[in-house]
Structure 1
Amino acid sequence: MKPRSLMFTLYGEYIQYYGEEIWVGSLIQLMNGFGISESSVRGAILRMVQKDLLQVRKKGNKSYYSVTELGRRRVEDGVTRVYSAPRAHWDGKWRILSYSFPEEKRELRNEIRKELTWTGFGMLSNSTWVSPNPLENQVMEMIKNYKIEENAILFSSSDVVSHPKEWIMEKGWDFQQVTDNYIHFIEKYSPKFEQLREKALNNELSDEECFIKRTTIVHEYRKFLFQDPGFPRELMPVDWVGTKARELFWNIHQLISIPAVRYFESIYEAAPDRDIKPQRDKAINPFKEVYV
């Protein structure tokens, strides 16, 4: 696991429910369980602070880290997409973003492309991106954050005159690759689920083992956010394999969530001046109701 990516997973899975702040010593100990050294953790923290994703607060001789507004938006977007089931119905509208950047803003253009891919947009051409999901607020916030009001324009349309929606879906997203990756996920984690269930029935799972396994599968499942745009169900096949993968993910997650959270709580240390009211129930079960 890359330290920065794992840190986002830890904030989304646990830290956000415990005051959104953690002592660096606790963070180092948690990440050490995944084979990441203290120097790698501190290096990742420094880079995330420089990119305005993390901020530090000193209390005595200890440092406590929390996400910035930009970091919080990325954490919340990721958590929402991981734990919210797709909408059942499509409102019939395409959200279309078009932009144009001068050559001197080439790196910014690359950042925008990463953001759009993460959000679930598909690329129709180098400067035209689309999504059937109601992402207007997220896109407008992105435009504001990057200060690209003069470079980008967002449309919403229910009519595409030249092509059917099936063409747009094939052009903007590689659903065959997404399908193959979901099948691989199912083949990999189905036997792991059976093994975990048997060990749980025999009381053979430690809290630390559950924490590592839950965090690992979330980390693996998060990768689909860069592949599966989360289309409304009516646009997808009835037997869409992504639904089966999500059910497997839920089964494993909930099987080991209570001991995983218990282990996190044993390592977590809040600042002495913070009166934390943990949202333990949300940490154990962050899954959200199905959208309609």
Structure 2
Amino acid sequence: MDTPDGTPDSDASDGPQPRPQSLMLAFFGNHVLEGDGDVCVYSGSIIDVLGRVGVGEQAVRSTLTRMVNRGLLRRRREGRKMYFGLTPQASRVLWDGRTRIWKQGAVNDDWDGTWTLLGFSLPDSWKRQRHDLRSRLTWSGFGALYSGLWIAPGNVDIAAAVAELGLTDHVKIFHARADVATDIELMIRDTWDLEGIAARYVTFDKRWTAVLGSGVGSGDDPIGTRLRLVSEWLWTIRTDPRLPARHLPPEWPARPAEETFRRVAELTAAPARRTAGELLDTVPPLR
């Protein structure tokens, strides 16, 4: 299943294998959105940075072209050089991801007891629309309570995403509380793959705790380290609906994993920013 940015889900137990587009968006999120937010980056700079995380030049070039065609990036030519910047659509995707990472966090200690329910009925021939809707719902924290009825903890504003997909007339959204007769913990276990979600956090924590032990921050490639960090964290949290902590198993691994993520992020932030300033060739967009 894909995220709104087109990044594939993976069932590999040994960690994420993000596609170049996922890494590309993480790159722009780290070094464009968090900076000026409105600059274009030379393709050679992008090739250099993504090469540090194992993406070859041809894969970078084809990904840039594909993302332009999908309306996620825009081009600007300066002489013989081609520069790429974010479109409004890509900026929205990245701001959403930024909110998930830095503002919401991975642990939901503040649940107010409410649920958002979304029911839909689509024609059998609308396979792509059904796939897109389910992908967007998964990214927004929903799980399938029944085949056409999805549920998410809290008051989730999903109407705009549904409208963007052109499915408003086929969807009904409700906000409610569970009756006392409902076993919430059983419902959660039946609706979401808790073991799979937990395994992602355990894998992430183990890998990046080892990186911390090897002296992260003192290495010579902070920009590559931070790109891998953010990409892997997004892969880790993308299927986590931030279920209420009070209804999760004891010692839920999201908390220590997030602490590890934030420690590595803090250690790499300034070095990666300095390296980007030295490495990236950027220009303002055309008006």
Provide the TM-score with structure 2 as the length reference: 0.84
Q: What is the CA–CA distance in structure 2 between the aligned matches of 1:90 and 1:123, rounded to whole Å?
A: 20
Q: What is the CA–CA distance in structure 2 between the aligned matches of 1:44 and 1:127, rounded to whole Å?
A: 34
**2:134 paired with 1:113:** yes
Q: What is the CA–CA distance in structure 1 between the aligned matches of 2:30 and 2:179, rounded to whole Å?
A: 39
In structure 2, what is the equivalent of residue 8 of structure 1?
25
CA deviations on 1:256-278 (whole Å, 9 max, x unpaired) are 2211111111122221578xxxx
Deviation for aligned residue 1:152: 1.0
**2:85 paired with 1:71:** no
The structure in which a higher percent of residues are helix is 1
SS at match of 1:41: helix
**2:215 paired with 1:196:** yes
**2:247 paired with 1:226:** no
Amino acid at match of 1:105: W
Amino acid at match of 1:205: G
Q: What is the CA–CA distance in structure 2 between the aligned matches of 1:70 and 1:171, rounded to whole Å?
A: 34
Equivalent of residue 18 in structure 1, options 29, 35, 53: 35
Amino acid at match of 1:241: P
Deviation for aligned residue 1:94: 0.6
In structure 1, what is the equivalent of residue 11 of structure 2?
none
Taking a change above 3 Å as real, the CA distance of residues 91 and 37 of structure 1, as seen in their structure-2 partners, is: same
Cα contact 2:205–2:257 (8 A) shared by 1: yes
Amino acid at match of 2:172: I
Q: What is the CA–CA distance in structure 1 between the aligned matches of 2:179 and 2:111, rounded to whole Å?
A: 15
Deviation for aligned residue 1:87: 4.4
SS at match of 2:95: helix
Segments of structure 2 that go 5 or more residues without pairing to the other structure are: 1-17
What does 1:239-250 align with in structure 2 at a 5 Å threshold? 239-250=251-262
Deviation for aligned residue 1:88: 2.7
SS at match of 2:71: coil
In structure 1, what is the equivalent of residue 4 of structure 2?
none
Cα contact 1:24–1:65 (8 A) shared by 2: yes
Q: What is the CA–CA distance in structure 1 between the aligned matches of 2:285 and 2:194, rounded to whole Å?
A: 49
Q: What is the CA–CA distance in structure 2 between the aligned matches of 1:272 and 1:182, rounded to whole Å?
A: 38
Cα contact 2:153–2:242 (8 A) shared by 1: no
Q: What is the CA–CA distance in structure 2 between the aligned matches of 1:63 and 1:103, rounded to whole Å?
A: 43
In structure 2, what is the equivalent of residue 287 of structure 1?
none
Taking a change above 3 Å as real, the CA distance of residues 160 and 56 of structure 1, as seen in their structure-2 partners, is: farther
Aligned length: 265
Cα contact 2:153–2:241 (8 A) shared by 1: no
Deviation for aligned residue 1:177: 1.7
Question: Identity percentage over the alignment?
Answer: 26
Deviation for aligned residue 1:39: 1.9
CA deviations on 1:126-149 (whole Å, 9 max, x unpaired) are 22111113321xx11111111111
**2:71 paired with 1:52:** yes
SS at match of 1:228: coil
Q: What is the CA–CA distance in structure 1 between the aligned matches of 2:63 and 2:285, rounded to whole Å?
A: 26
Q: What is the CA–CA distance in structure 1 between the aligned matches of 2:227 and 2:260, rounded to whole Å?
A: 15
Cα contact 2:117–2:149 (8 A) shared by 1: yes
SS at match of 1:103: coil
Deviation for aligned residue 1:117: 1.0
Deviation for aligned residue 1:58: 3.7
Q: What is the CA–CA distance in structure 2 between the aligned matches of 1:222 and 1:241, rounded to whole Å?
A: 16
Cα contact 1:90–1:235 (8 A) shared by 2: no
Segments of structure 1 that go 5 or more residues without pairing to the other structure are: 275-292
In structure 2, what is the equivalent of residue 97 of structure 1?
118
Amino acid at match of 2:183: P
Cα contact 1:96–1:154 (8 A) shared by 2: yes
Deviation for aligned residue 1:27: 1.6
Cα contact 2:141–2:153 (8 A) shared by 1: no
Amino acid at match of 2:125: E
**2:257 paired with 1:257:** no
Q: What is the CA–CA distance in structure 1 between the aligned matches of 2:260 and 2:249, rounded to whole Å?
A: 18
Amino acid at match of 2:257: A
Runs of 4+ off more than 6 Å: none
Greater Cα offset, 41-50 or 236-245? 236-245
Provide the TM-score with structure 1 as the length reference: 0.83
Cα contact 2:43–2:84 (8 A) shared by 1: yes
Cα contact 1:95–1:154 (8 A) shared by 2: yes
